Structure formats: structure tokens, C-alpha cells
Amino acid sequence: MRFTLSVALTPLDQLTELAVTAEECGFSSIALPDSLFYSEQVSADYPYTPDGSRFWDENTPWVDPLIAAASMGAATKEITFYTSVLKLGSRNPVLLARQVGSVANLTGDRFGLGLGVGWAPEEFEWCGVPYRRRGKRVDEAIDVLRLILDGGMVEYHGEFYDFDKLCMSPAPKRHVPFYVGGHSEPALRRAARVGDGWASAMMKLDDLRDTIARLNTLRAEYGRADEPFEFQAVCIDRFGLDGYREQADVGVTDVITVPWVFDGLGFDAPVEQKKDSIKKFAADVIARF
């Protein structure tokens, strides 16, 4: 099992130092969150909190995750980066393919695309994309992304996206993994059908166990049971060495964690304190796992 450092809600001037420290301490990846903007009012509930409220506000720092990956990639050598997760529904996949391909090349193929549909109607509508039929649109967008990123002269003629032959060069030298997020049945089916892995939001261990079992059943239905597949988890009720072993036992392959939270530090804590928390977590958990 691998360990990934989440840098959600982190001040932007800390990102590079945290990535360097995480690499030195044995973390495998950096998980990069995505938010396009903060709307004063939102017409849907946030799906991953009990009361549907957002746990950030208009002053919370965010950065485009692709730009962040390129920046941190320039300061590191081995650690990988992935979005967790990028909201694909409000983005044009042709433009996004150019960005993903660029980041993959600039980081030496150390980038994975975690993707989801998106939950806020405003992020769709204010970016010029209808909220209606968003799932079907995302399915096509994934096809477009994979087609372009695989390289060569390609064309696509679908219901939502339509273009004649084009080529984006250079294509990534290696396969860019797609990690599909979401807890709904359509999201799980999407992950099982086209994903290289699945990314959870905040979940309890029992729910993770059931979801991983469901994904394995679906992967078998799609004839993909023997293909490599990642289970990236944000588990909210199992921590410490024994807790991470329990996560591994239910099938988690990649733990997404925020070490400074365990030390009572906030997201705006000084970077040196966060680096100390990363080192402590590495010694107490990663080195002993």
C-alpha cells in the first residue's frame, strides 16, 4: 500500500516545499484538489458532508491542479501527482487534453488524472456547459481525452463532442492513468468500465469495504478483473499503523492523508510545522508499514 499527501486548502507558497519533503520521506504521490470558484450561493448540496454544507469559504486558497503539478514536478524527481479529483463536467476535453499532455511531459510522466463529474450546477452553467445530462457528457469527454492522449492523428464524432482529424504533439510517453471519483452507482460503473483506479471522498471503513467489493464485482462484469486497478481512499475512522493495515485488508492500495491534522495543526499552519508532521508520519507509519 502506498501513501499520498493531500495538499487540499494549503497556502500556495507552501506547495513546493511540502512536495519536496514528501518525496524525501517516502510518500508516493501528491493529491491535488480542484475547485473552479466559490459561488456565494450554491443550488445543490455538497455530497460529502452530513448536512450538505461546504467546509471551505471564499477565502480558502485554491490553485489550478495542473499548474500546481507542473510547478511541484519541477522541484522533485520521483514523486507522482494526481488530481483528486478534477471536475471534468465543466471542462472542454480537447483543451484539457492539451493541458494534461503538457503536464505529463513536463513531469516526466509523473501525472495521473483523477476525474469526476462535478456536483455544483453553477460550475457547469457559468462555464457555458449544461448541468443536464452531465454524466453522459463526461463519458464522452473521457473517451475524447483517452483518444487524444494516446497520440497520433485522431477524430471523434459523438453526441456532445465532434471533431475531424487532429494531433497533439508530443503525446505522453506513457499511459496517463485515469482515476475516477464518485460514490454513486453510475460513478462506480464508470470507474470499473474505463478507470485505472477509483478515488474516494471521505468514507468510513465499512463503507469503503462495501464499495471496493462492489467495484470488484463490476470490474469482473466488464471483463477487467485481472487488470491493474488502484483504490485511493480518504478513510475517516481508521488511523495509525493498525488502522492503515485495516484499510489494506479491505483492499485500499493508496491512502490519501494530511499528516499535520493528526498533530492538531490547521491548513494555514506554518510550513515548517507541516514538514515536521510529514517527517513524523513517515517515521511512525510509512517506515514501519
pLDDT per position in the chain (289 positions), as tens? 999 999 999 999 999 999 999 999 999 999 999 999 999 999 999 998 889 999 999 999 999 999 999 999 999 999 999 999 999 999 999 999 999 999 999 999 999 999 999 999 999 999 999 999 999 999 999 999 999 999 999 999 999 999 999 999 999 999 999 999 999 999 999 999 999 999 999 999 999 999 999 999 999 999 999 999 999 999 999 999 999 999 999 999 999 999 999 999 999 999 999 999 999 999 999 999 8
Could you tell me the pTM of the whole model?
Answer: 0.96
How far out from the chain centre does Cα 101 lie? 16
Contact 19, 75 (CB under 8 A): yes
Q: How does pLDDT run across 129-178, given as a tens digit for each residue?
A: 999 999 999 999 999 999 999 999 999 999 999 999 999 999 999 999 99
Question: CA-CA distance, 111 to 100, in Å (whole number)?
Answer: 8
Structural domains in the chain (count): 1
Q: How does pLDDT run across 196-211, given as a tens digit for each residue?
A: 999 999 999 999 999 9
> Residue 128 has which C-alpha cell?
457555458
Task: Collect all residues with Cβ–Cβ distance below 8 Å to 128 and sequence separation of at least 6.
Answer: none
Question: CA-CA distance, 129 to 136, in Å (whole number)?
Answer: 13
CA dihedral 263, 267, 269, 275 (to 10 degrees): 60
CB atoms within 10 A of CB 71: 17
> Range of 37's domain?
2-288
Question: CA-CA distance, 36 to 121, in Å (whole number)?
Answer: 12
CATH code (residue 227):
3.20.20.30
Question: CA-CA distance, 168 to 149, in Å (whole number)?
Answer: 8
